């Protein structure tokens, strides 16, 4: 079972060209060593096309894919056809079956293996639902890839660069963060549940630590004992008011050991007990 998705296609260089398109070239090159063994390949709409379907079928390899309606070889009627939720339109041309199915939005699939025959299957919530065979196949083997892509894109920094290695490295790091969060959810035990955003922010804080790039160094970086030693509140010298390191309000109190202006009470306690806080 082979699965491809559009992240691979985007990583190809411009020198990689083919009369049938880059997507065709990528799949053909990677699957060629496995031709003649009746493998079943799943791809997304960046790669999928009737031309690819025919080519793989001629080499005894099945293909199931989502596809764009405007692809060369697709039924012209699919471009204007809109189907209601649960309905479908299917057409056959030789070994290639093309189907438009109405779900939350219209999706178009092609396959040399799947059929439009309705089958009962359970969705992710355990609810029984009748779906075409080809949809069940695609969801089973490609759904996890689509879900992973969606999770990665939630906090994708969208780096714009001509250097492809930066995009690839960023994508790898984002997938590591997503996998880390999944592992955390499965093994957190009695620890407080964190949202994906909270987990990501805390992870970034742990990686950055107390590093500050440029500018004046702040209280936490100057005083490494602020969380362990016993410090006491004092008046600022000469009665001068400074900005609190925690809330940024003007205050005449401070911690002399940390040389940091701090409000009496909550701010003083936060500064000496919490490693990270909003700091100006």
Tokens of 178: 């997503």
Query: What is residue 248's predicted lDDT score, i.e. its pLDDT?
Result: 83
Query: What is residue 5's predicted lDDT score, i.e. its pLDDT?
Result: 59
Q: Which of 131, 113, 133 is nearest to 122 (CA)?
A: 131
Torsion of CA 243, 245, 251, 256, to 10 degrees: -110
Instruction: Show me where the domains of the chain are located.
Output: 2-157, 219-273
Query: What is residue 215's predicted lDDT score, i.e. its pLDDT?
Result: 43
Quick check: pTM over 0.85?
no
DSSP H helices, 42-132, are 50-58
Are residues 108 and 69 in contact, defined by beta-carbon separation less than 8 angstroms?
A: yes
- The string of pLDDT tens digits covering residues 221-257 is 456 566 777 788 888 888 788 888 888 888 988 888 8
Are residues 261 and 234 in contact, defined by beta-carbon separation less than 8 angstroms?
A: no
Q: Which long-range contacts (CB under 8 A, 24 or more apart) does 186-191 make?
A: none
State how beta strands 233-235 and 253-255 pair: antiparallel
Query: What is residue 22's predicted lDDT score, i.e. its pLDDT?
Result: 85
Sequence-ordered strand ranges (E) for the chain: 2-3, 40-43, 62-66, 88-93, 96-102, 106-111, 118-122, 128-132, 233-235, 242-243, 250-251, 253-255, 260-261
In eight-state DSSP terms, residue 215 is S
Strand partners, 91: 98
Low-confidence ranges of the chain (pLDDT < 50): 8-16, 214-221, 280
State how beta strands 40-43 and 62-66 pair: parallel
């Amino acid at each position: 079972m082979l699965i491809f998705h559009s992240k691979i296609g985007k990583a190809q260089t411009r020198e990689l060209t083919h009369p049938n398109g880059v997507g065709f070239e990528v799949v053909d090159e990677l699957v060629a060593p496995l031709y003649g063994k009746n493998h079943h390949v799943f791809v997304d709409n960046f790669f999928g096309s009737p031309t690819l379907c025919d080519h793989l079928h001629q080499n005894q390899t099945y293909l199931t894919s989502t596809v764009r309606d405007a692809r060369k070889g697709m039924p012209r009627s699919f471009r204007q056809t809109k189907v209601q939720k649960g309905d479908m339109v299917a057409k056959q041309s030789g070994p290639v079956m093309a189907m438009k199915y109405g779900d939350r939005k219209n999706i178009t699939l092609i396959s040399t293996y799947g059929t439009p025959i309705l089958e009962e299957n359970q969705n992710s919530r355990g609810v029984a639902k009748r779906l075409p065979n080809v949809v069940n196949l695609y969801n089973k083997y490609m759904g996890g890839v689509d879900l992973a892509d969606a999770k990665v894109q939630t906090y994708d920094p969208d780096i714009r660069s001509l250097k492809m290695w930066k995009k690839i490295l960023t994508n790898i790091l984002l997938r590591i963060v997503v996998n880390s969060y999944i592992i955390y959810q499965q093994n957190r035990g009695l620890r407080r549940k964190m949202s994906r955003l909270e987990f990501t922010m805390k992870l970034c804080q742990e990686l950055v630590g107390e590093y500050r790039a440029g500018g004046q160094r702040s209280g936490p970086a100057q005083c490494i004992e602020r969380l362990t030693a016993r410090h006491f509140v004092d008046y600022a010298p000469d009665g001068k008011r400074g900005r609190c390191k925690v809330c940024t309000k003007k205050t005449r109190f401070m911690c002399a050991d940390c040389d940091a202006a701090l409000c009496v009470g909550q701010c003083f306690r936060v500064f000496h007990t919490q490693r990270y806080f909003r700091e100006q």
